[in-house]
Structure 1
Amino acid sequence: MGNKQIKQHLETAQKTGVLKISLQRLQDFPPQLKTFPNVLKTLDISENRFVTLPEEIGRFTLCKHLNVSGNRLTELPEILGNLTKLEVFIAMNNMITNIPQSMANLKNLKQVNLSNNQLAKFPTMFCQLTHLDVLDLSRNKIVEIPNEVKDLYVTELNCNQNQISILSDNIALCPKLKTLRLEENCLQAKAFSPKILIESKISNILYEGNLFNPKEFNSLEGYEAYQERYTAVKKKMF
Structure 2
Amino acid sequence: MYPVQSPVIKFLIWVLQKIDNFLSRNRDCVQNRIKLVKKNRFTELNLRDCHLNKIPPEIFDLVWLQELDLSGNRITEIPEAIASLYNLTKLNLSKNQISKIPDSIYYLIHLQDLDLSQNQLTKFPKGITWMLSIEQLNLSGNYLVEVPKSIAYMSNLCQLYLSKNQFTWFPEPVTRLSCLSELYLHNNQIQKIPDSINRLSKLTKLNLSCNHIKEFPESLTRLANLVDLNLDNNQIRKIDNSIHRLYRLCQLKLSGNQLEELPESFALLPTTELSIEGNILKKPPQAEAEKGMDSIRNFFRTNQTEE
* TM-score scaled by length of structure 2: 0.60
User: What's 1:59 paired with?
Assistant: 61
**1:31 offset after TM fit, Å?**
8.6
> Is residue 78 of structure 2 the alignment partner of residue 76 of structure 1?
yes
Q: Which moved more, 1:117-126 or 1:127-136?
A: 127-136
1:229 matched to which residue of 2? 225
- 1:68-217 equivalent positions in 2, closer than 5 A: 68-152=70-154, 153-189=156-192, 192-198=193-199, 200-213=201-214, 216=215
Question: Is the 2:54–2:75 contact (alpha carbons within 8 Å) kept by the matching residues of 1?
Answer: yes
Aligned equivalents of 1:100 and 1:26: distance in 2?
26
Aligned Cα RMSD in Å? Answer: 2.9
Please tell me the residue identity of whatever aligns with 2:160: L
**C-alpha displacement of 1:86:** 0.2
Indicate the SS of the match to 1:43.
strand
Q: 1:166 to 1:55 in 2, by over 3 A?
A: farther
SS of 1:145's partner is coil
Q: 1:38 to 1:96 in 2, by over 3 A?
A: farther
Number of residue pairs matched? 208
Output the amino acid matched with 2:206.
I
- Is the 1:134–1:155 Cα contact (8 Å) retained in structure 2? yes
Alpha-carbon spacing, 1:151–1:223, altered in 2? closer, same or farther (3 Å):
same
Q: Which runs of 5+ in 2 are unaligned?
A: 1-24, 227-245, 251-271, 273-307
- Between 1 and 2, higher relative CO (CA 8 Å, sep ≥ 6) is seen in 1
- 4+ aligned runs moved over 6 Å, structure 1: none
How many Å apart are 1:122 and its aligned residue? 1.4
Aligned residue type for 1:206:
N
Partner Cα distance (1:97, 1:27) in 2: 28
- SS of the aligned residue for 1:211 comes to coil
State the Cα distance separating 1:199 from its structure 2 match. Answer: 5.6
Structure with max Cα Rg: 2
CA distance, structure 2, for counterparts of residue 26 and residue 183 of structure 1: 38
Q: Secondary structure at 2:165's aligned position in 1?
A: coil
With normalisation by structure 1, the TM-score equals: 0.76
Tell me, which stretches of 5 or more residues in structure 1 are unaligned?
1-23
